[in-house]
Amino acid sequence: MRVFERIVIKNEKEALIESRDRVVVGFSGGPDSVFLVEMLLKLKEKINFNIVLVHINHLLRGEEAQRDEDFSINYGKSKKLEVFTKKIDVISLAKKSGISLEEAGREARYSFYAKIMQKTKSNKIVLAHNKDDQIETFIFRLSRGTGLCGLEGILSKRDVYIRPISEIYKSEIIEYLNKNKIAYCIDSTNLKNDFTRNSIRLDLIPFIEQRYNPKFKDKIFSLIEEIREINFFIEEEIKRFQQSDILKVSEILRFPKNIRGRILSKFLYKHGLDVNRKKISLIENILEKGGSQEVTLSSEYILKKEYDILKVEKKYLIKESIREICMVIPNRVEYGNYIIEAEYTDRIEQNRDCFYTNLKVGDTLIIRGRKEGDKINPIGMKGEKKLKDIFINEKIAKRDRNFIPLVVHKGNIVWIAGIRGNEKYSSTAKICVKLSVRRIK
Considering the domain architecture, whether residues 273 and 333 belong to the same structural domain is answered as no
Considering the domain architecture, whether residues 331 and 277 belong to the same structural domain is answered as no
Residue 61, pLDDT score: 85
Nearest alpha carbon to residue 407 among 373, 434, 379? 434
Range of the domain at 381: 325-439
Question: From CA 149, how far away is CA 235, in angstroms rounded?
Answer: 10
Residue 319, pLDDT score: 46
Count of Cβ atoms closer than 10 Å to residue 254 Cβ = 9
29 labelled binding-site residue: yes
405 labelled binding-site residue: no
Considering the domain architecture, whether residues 364 and 281 belong to the same structural domain is answered as no
Count of Cβ atoms closer than 10 Å to residue 414 Cβ = 26
What region does 291 belong to: left with phi over 0, alpha with psi -120 to 50, or beta? left
Domain for residue 136, yes or no? Answer: no
32 labelled binding-site residue: yes
State the alpha helices, DSSP H only, in 88-160.
90-97, 101-119, 131-144
Looking at 123-250, which runs of residues are DSSP E strands?
124-126, 157-158, 161-162, 246-248
Domain boundary at 263, 280, 314, which? 314
Report the interhelical angle of 216-238 vs 257-270 (nearest 10°): 60
Domain boundary at 154, 169, 189, which? 189
Considering the domain architecture, whether residues 90 and 35 belong to the same structural domain is answered as yes
Domain for residue 230, yes or no? Answer: no
62 labelled binding-site residue: no
**Which CATH number characterizes residue 113's domain?**
3.40.50.620
pTM for this entry: 0.65
Show pLDDT as tens, one digit a residue, over the chain (441 residues): 699 999 999 999 999 999 999 999 999 999 999 999 999 999 999 999 999 999 999 988 889 999 999 999 999 999 999 999 999 888 888 888 888 888 888 888 999 999 999 999 999 999 999 999 999 999 999 988 888 888 888 899 999 999 999 999 999 999 999 999 999 999 887 777 766 788 888 899 999 999 999 999 999 999 999 999 998 888 888 877 777 788 888 888 888 888 888 888 888 888 788 888 888 888 888 888 877 788 888 877 888 888 888 888 877 544 445 789 999 999 999 998 899 999 999 988 888 899 999 999 999 999 999 988 899 999 988 889 999 889 888 888 777 888 899 999 999 999 999 999 999 999 989 999 999 999 886
30 labelled binding-site residue: yes
Count of domains for the chain = 3
Residue 318, pLDDT score: 44
Residue 25, pLDDT score: 96
